Amino acid sequence: MAVRNAPEESREVTLRRWSVMEITTKKGTSSRHVHGHDVTNNFARTSSAISEFDAHNMTVSTRSGRLYKLVGLPGNYPAGKPAWDAWCSSNNIGAQVDVTDDYLNIDKLATLGFDRLTRAAMREGNS
């Protein structure tokens, strides 16, 4: 699968079926990145390094200055795996670990939090 570059004008991105991966480059540098289904552009997307996470608003700010709105529960976007693998290959990633539970652990999520996330995902799907 070819890696596509996102439009430069899109400073805010809405992701569903998202996850967070901690990567280590072959040179030993570590960072965390969110990836998932970019609902606006309808393709798999991987962020630059996460600089800030806002759990209340479920947003991620990245080193590039983009803001990612995470809707719904974490998950796997079917086209996401090949796109993630291509991104890792092109960025010389040596190791990766799924750290999504550090951001949203669905086993510990209260019913009210789940309802809030579900409503947000439903609103996004209807727009």
Q: How many independent structural domains does the chain possess?
A: 1
Q: Within 10 Å of residue 38's Cβ, how many Cβ atoms?
A: 21
* Cβ contacts of 109 within 8 Å, gap of 6 or more: 117
- The pLDDT mean for the chain works out to 84
5 inside domain: no
Domain that holds residue 27: 12-117
123 inside domain: no
125 inside domain: no
Q: Residue for token digits 């289904």?
A: 37
Q: Which amino acid is at 66?
A: R
pLDDT of 98 > 70? The answer is yes
Please, which pLDDT band fits residue 7 given cuts at 50, 70 and 90?
Answer: low
Distance CA 117, CA 7 (A): 27
Distance CA 28, CA 83 (A): 22
- Express each pLDDT in 75-90 by its tens digit: 888 888 888 999 999 9
pLDDT of 2 > 60? The answer is no
Name the pTM for this structure: 0.78
- Express each pLDDT in 9-43 by its tens digit: 678 999 999 999 999 999 999 999 999 999 988 99
Q: Which amino acid is at 62?
A: T
